[in-house]
Structure 1
Amino acid sequence: MIVKQLSVFLENKSGRLARVTEILGENNINIRALSIADTTDFGILRLIVNKPNEAYKLLKEEQFMVSLTDVIAVEVPDKPGGLAGVLKILEPYNINIEYLYAFVEKSSNNALVVFRVEELEKAIKILTDNGVKVLAGNEVYSL
């Protein structure tokens, strides 16, 4: 139920983001979800792709600073308060969410959200024990 996420360190200059997406596109790697956080000097691009290990290797070969991080992808009811309900499940267990972002696509009538948490296996167990669907990597990569 763990999903591999690419984190790419990008200098905040013209063409760097375009180059990453170009490399992925040229190698038939599809972006499933992404987030970018930036400052005036640099940004961190977080990506879920259909072939994470291959993408990692390609970006390394092109001299990008890239890492693979374990995250979870969770189905969240696509209605007001849906995300709050899932977060409330984790709250009593002191699971810290470092960051989260949404997917481009939905799963059935639910939204998909990527969570980076400190205690991954514990969070997965708590969520699944409470009826929240946590998707496996192969499910996410093939959406």
Structure 2
Amino acid sequence: MSFGEGAGSEVDFETMQGRNWPSLTQFSVFLENRVGQLLEVIRAFNGSKVKIVGLTISDSADCSILRLVLSHPEQGREILALHKLAFAENELLGAELPTGPGSLADLCAALLQAEINIHYAYPLIIHPHGRCAVALHVDNIEQAGTALHAMGFEIVCEADLSA
């Protein structure tokens, strides 16, 4: 499922959360800054259908923030809660990078042209259609998705990650 596929600049349905554009759910898990915390979180998903498809870690002296994109966010939410892990959720935009040189620069240029700020980005481990993809936290997901789609980028949604 790709952004705007056969439907202009918007998806032709509305999600349960009232969105009519594709996004990825990011879980920010708050961890003590001590050895073994990452492994404990990763092991929490063992035996489930939930796969970690993207991750990044921000570290400070007292705590760490593990940012995760999961293949099945609903089940991932349940697993995190079951393991009593403190977490928050927010939306990211996923975009596939075309093959060839300059694709990341083209993505940044498209967002700059649309005056959309990238707060942070990280690669997705899963390549939904065989191409590299990135998760982006941006000022406005809807405008960013529209701008990138207009420049020929394929937008990744959660359904692409669970296949």
Fold agreement, TM-score > 0.5: yes
8 Å CA contact 2:128, 2:161 repeated in 1: no
Q: Structure 1 stretches of 5 or more lacking a match?
A: none
- Please state which structure has a larger fraction of its residues in helix: 1
Alpha-carbon deviation of 1:81? 2.1
Alpha-carbon deviation of 1:110? 2.9
Aligned pairs for 1:42-81 within 5 A: 42-81=63-102
Separation in structure 1 between the aligned mates of residue 44 and residue 152 of structure 2, nearest angstrom: 38
Name the TM-score, length of structure 1 as normaliser.
0.90
After superposition, the Cα gap between the structure-2 partners of 1:50 and 1:105, relative to the gap in structure 1 and judged at 3 Å, is: closer
Aligned length: 142
Separation in structure 1 between the aligned mates of residue 99 and residue 122 of structure 2, nearest angstrom: 14
- Report runs of 4+ in structure 1 exceeding 4 Å deviation: none
Name the TM-score, length of structure 2 as normaliser.
0.79
After superposition, the Cα gap between the structure-2 partners of 1:37 and 1:106, relative to the gap in structure 1 and judged at 3 Å, is: same
Separation in structure 2 between the aligned mates of residue 63 and residue 4 of structure 1, nearest angstrom: 19
Separation in structure 1 between the aligned mates of residue 162 and residue 91 of structure 2, nearest angstrom: 14
Letter in 2 for 1:38: D
- Please state which structure has a larger fraction of its residues in strand: 1
Q: Determine which of 14, 22, 32 is the counterpart of 2:53.
A: 32
8 Å CA contact 2:98, 2:153 repeated in 1: no
Q: How much identity, in percent, do the aligned residues show? A: 27
